[in-house]
Amino acid sequence: MRISTDFLVIGSGLSGLIFALKASEYGTVSLLSKDEITEGATFYAQGGIAAVLDEKDSIKDHVKDTVNAGAGLCRKDVAEEICSEGPRLVRELINNYGVNFSRNNGEIDLGLEGGHTKRRVLHAEDRTGYEIETKLVDAVKKESNINIFENHVAINLFVDNNVCIGAYALDKKSNQINNFQATITTLATGGAGKVFLVTSNPDVCTGDGIAMAYRAGAKIINMEFTQFHPTSLYHPHAKAFLITEAMRGEGAKLIDKNGKRFMSKYHPKKELAPRDIVSRSIDAELKTTGEDCVFLDITHKNPSFVKDRFPTIYERCLTYGIDITVQPIPVVPAAHYLIGGVKATTTGQTNVKNLLAIGEVSCTGFHGANRLASNSLLEALVCANKAAKFGAILCMNTGAPTKQPFPYWDPGMAEDPDEMVIVKQNWDEIRRFMWNYVGIVRSDNRLIRAANRLEVVMKEINQFYWDFKIHPHLLDLRNLAQVAELIIRCARGRRESRGVHYSIDHTKKSDSLYNTELQISMVDKVPLNGKFVE
Ligand code: FAD
Ligand code: SIN
């Protein structure tokens, strides 16, 4: 099937939904989602969205905290732009889309999180993402100009002469590959936490947008900066369950198995130190003691406060037999957020014409080398708004969608019964060596080992990709491997420790500031529509 549209939006998290809503005022929108429309990191966001609403707070302070956390690599102009736009746009979430943030005596309740010097985190109890995502999905479903394509996995962008004219997408229900021809294509595909064995991210976060953009010639930057969240639940049956940083903001303490606090050894701000420091401190504790986890203790707080403020976490932990009002919570760090990504401006522009990138898939320079808590939803909100305005102008200037249709995908490949075994084996292998060798603490040797392992695995995946019929799991795996390769290459290129990138062989910050940037060479360029290119 060939679908022609003004705007193709790949991804239906906060950034994709806002872009779709705003762009639909100017033209037709096709909104793709890899799974059900709500599935993505946004849905699971807990702590909240940072914006200056308190009169004792200021944009200047928000920018300062952002830049301080960013370890020298934040773009201050970008931080000023995003922090300034935040208050107006969060009010729009409340007034235009009915998002209900928690209130205290009628006033919005502002939370505190690591690295923030003021209370400025709007939240809906501990299920902020659920509240935002479901309200925006309701709004999108009411827009006649927006067509929603759930369970459609974008496979590759189609780029001609450095102009993006759409994408191929696999309809998981019918197994058909459709051509989406678009004047403007917007990547809003989120992050890539699934590259690591332990992650807070849902299954859809396999870095597809970054891999697709890279194959299409877009510049990819700063992939070494993977942010590890200090506290995800440690339990054999718990898959990817975060314990929000807001709990430390409300006074929860990190303790070892003997009940002893340890953060004062590492940073004067203790539990509220920047996230990279807390994650590394826990990692160091685990390595020194040989224990499997540390504990987060909020039992000193009134149980009714804990249940009201953190109902989702309370309920979920209870299902694993942990009553957080009387027991400390076993926690470990987990891969959480990809700071690097497709190089983009705050209006989403990439180096490929008519291809925009917004939200976690993009890298605008806002987070520098270490993201401040709750600044990700803020960036997604602000940049999606700005990109939709920019995209509308670009669309008008470019004219009607897709003058030249691009070729249909050639599905002429055989099925292979062994496929799933190989996919599963490679999937497990990549995630394990990325965790062990490219995790919270890195070294030159570990990175070399990871690169060597990846080379073998990528050969196998590529052979499979070209020889056999594609399958959603194979697409995920291929993208995951590509993203792993970009992370390793960027990490090897950064010969210093900065922000979330820490190497035992280069423990100091270098005097010079630089971004790591990768772009596919013409020699490596792969055909974008399967085995047989017309
Ligand atoms: P997402 O919300 O991840 O959406 C990505 C979308 O892309 C999904 O719809 C997915 O289906 C789609 N997609 C992906 N690949 C394809 C493909 N190939 N084809 C079609 N569709 C595709 N940040 C904060 O600021 N505050 C918080 O409190 C917070 N809490 C968090 C808690 C958790 C558990 C996690 C995982 C993250 C949290 N973050 C938080 C980070 C934040 O949620 C994300 O960075 C943000 O939601 C990203 O939004 P997004 O729109 O870019 O992507
Ligand atoms: C959290 O709730 O701890 C996550 C906040 C974030 O990732 O910004």
pLDDT per position as a tens digit, 292-306: 999 999 999 999 999
- Ligand 1 atom with minimal separation from the 155 CA: 18
Q: Which ligand is nearest to the CA of 133?
A: 1
* d(CA 45, ligand 2 centre) in Å: 7
Task: Mention every residue, 6+ apart, whose C-beta is less than 8 A from residue 453.
Answer: 429, 433
Cα–Cα distance measured from residue 97 to residue 100, given in angstroms and rounded to the nearest whole number: 9
Whether 502 is in a domain gets the answer yes
* d(CA 530, ligand 2 centre) in Å: 38
Ligand 2 binding residues, C-beta < 6 A: 46-47, 244-246, 337, 373-374, 376
- Give the pLDDT score at 523: 62
Question: How many folded domains does the chain comprise?
Answer: 2
Whether 447 is in a domain gets the answer yes
Output the CA–CA distances (angstroms, integers) from residue 145 to 3, 139, 156, in the order listed: 14, 12, 24
Residue 334, SS3 per DSSP? strand
Give the number of C-alpha atoms closer than 13 A to the C-alpha of residue 373, restricted to the C-beta side: 33
Whether 119 is in a domain gets the answer no
Ligand 1 binding residues, C-beta < 6 A: 10-16, 32-35, 39-42, 44-49, 128-129, 152-154, 188-191, 200-201, 204-205, 208, 242, 337, 359-360, 374-377, 380
Nearest to 291 by CA among 335, 336, 330: 330
pLDDT above 90 covers what percent of the chain?
86
- Ligand 2 atom with minimal separation from the 376 CA: 8
Q: How confident is the model at residue 531 (pLDDT cuts 50, 70, 90)?
A: very low
In this structure, are residues 183 and 401 in contact, taking their beta carbons and an 8 Å threshold? yes
Q: How confident is the model at residue 533 (pLDDT cuts 50, 70, 90)?
A: very low
pLDDT in tens, 195-237: 999 999 999 999 999 999 999 999 999 999 999 999 999 998 8
* d(CA 245, ligand 2 centre) in Å: 6
Position 360 pLDDT exceeds 60 = yes
- 275 in catalytic set: yes
- Ligand 1 atom with minimal separation from the 38 CA: 9
**What is the domain-level CATH number for residue 453?**
1.20.58.100
Regarding whether 522 and 426 lie in a shared domain, the answer is yes
Residue 122, SS3 per DSSP? strand
For the record, the structure tokens of 389 come out as 């305005």
Whether 264 is in a domain gets the answer yes
Nearest to 243 by CA among 137, 307, 110, 333: 333
Position 15 pLDDT exceeds 80 = yes
Q: Which ligand is nearest to the CA of 279?
A: 2
Whether 238 is in a domain gets the answer yes
Whether 305 is in a domain gets the answer yes
Domain end position, chosen among 309, 334, 359? 334
What is 434-489 written as a DSSP string?
Answer: HHHHSSSSB-HHHHHHHHHHHHHHHHHHHHHHHHB---HHHHHHHHHHHHHHHHHH
- Give the pLDDT score at 76: 98
- Ligand 2 atom with minimal separation from the 46 CA: 2
- Give the pLDDT score at 534: 33
Q: How confident is the model at residue 126 (pLDDT cuts 50, 70, 90)?
A: very high
Task: Report which protein residue has its CA nearest ligand 1's atom 29.
Answer: 45
For the record, the structure tokens of 138 come out as 């309701």
- Give the pLDDT score at 114: 86
Mean pLDDT to the nearest integer, 12-27: 98
pLDDT in tens, 87-101: 999 999 999 999 999
Whether 490 is in a domain gets the answer yes
- pLDDT, averaged across the chain: 94
Choice among 215, 275, 446, 492 that is catalytic:
275
pLDDT in tens, 143-159: 999 999 999 999 999 99
Q: Which ligand is nearest to the CA of 229?
A: 2
* d(CA 349, ligand 2 centre) in Å: 26
Which residue, chain included where needed, has tokens 């929000």?
244
Cα–Cα distance measured from residue 431 to residue 196, given in angstroms and rounded to the nearest whole number: 4
Q: How confident is the model at residue 463 (pLDDT cuts 50, 70, 90)?
A: confident
Output the CA–CA distances (angstroms, integers) from residue 190 to 15, 16, 53, 481, 533, in the order listed: 9, 9, 27, 16, 29
Give CA angle at 206 (527, 65), nearest 5°.
120
Task: Mention every residue, 6+ apart, whose C-beta is less than 8 A from residue 273.
Answer: 114, 115, 263, 266, 267, 281
- Give the pLDDT score at 526: 63
Q: Which ligand is nearest to the CA of 200?
A: 1
Nearest to 532 by CA among 411, 405, 406: 411
Using a 10 angstrom Cβ sphere, with 0-12 exposed, 13-18 middle and 19 or more buried, the burial of residue 167 is buried
Task: For 395-418, give one letter per residue: b (16+ CB within 10 A) or e.
Answer: beebeebbeeebeebeeeeeeeee
Whether 518 is in a domain gets the answer yes
> Ligand 1, residues 149, 196, 204: which to mutate, most atoms within 8 A of Cβ?
204
- Give the pLDDT score at 532: 37
- Ligand 1 atom with minimal separation from the 193 CA: 36
Its domain, for residue 311, covers 231-334
Q: How many CB atoms lie within 10 A of CB 106?
A: 5
> Ligand 1, residues 178, 377, 479: which to mutate, most atoms within 8 A of Cβ?
377
Position 68 pLDDT exceeds 80 = yes
- Which position has the higher pLDDT, 532 or 275? 275
- Which position has the higher pLDDT, 533 or 213? 213
- Ligand 2 atom with minimal separation from the 247 CA: 3
Domain end position, chosen among 279, 306, 334? 334
Task: Mention every residue, 6+ apart, whose C-beta is less than 8 A from residue 218.
Answer: 342, 343, 350, 351, 352, 355, 357, 519
> Ligand 1, residues 37, 42, 121: which to mutate, most atoms within 8 A of Cβ?
42
Task: Report which protein residue has its CA nearest ligand 1's atom 31.
Answer: 45
**What is the domain-level CATH number for residue 236?**
3.90.700.10
| Identity of residue 346 | T
- Ligand 1 atom with minimal separation from the 15 CA: 51
Q: Which ligand is nearest to the CA of 339?
A: 1
Regarding whether 527 and 426 lie in a shared domain, the answer is yes
Residues paired with 31 in a beta bridge: 9, 148
In this structure, are residues 424 and 465 in contact, taking their beta carbons and an 8 Å threshold? no
Domain end position, chosen among 310, 334, 358? 334
> Ligand 1, residues 3, 8, 9, 14: which to mutate, most atoms within 8 A of Cβ?
14
Mean pLDDT to the nearest integer, 431-445: 96
* d(CA 403, ligand 2 centre) in Å: 43
Task: Report which protein residue has its CA nearest ligand 1's atom 47.
Answer: 42
Using a 10 angstrom Cβ sphere, with 0-12 exposed, 13-18 middle and 19 or more buried, the burial of residue 521 is exposed
Task: Report which protein residue has its CA nearest ligand 2's atom 2.
Answer: 47
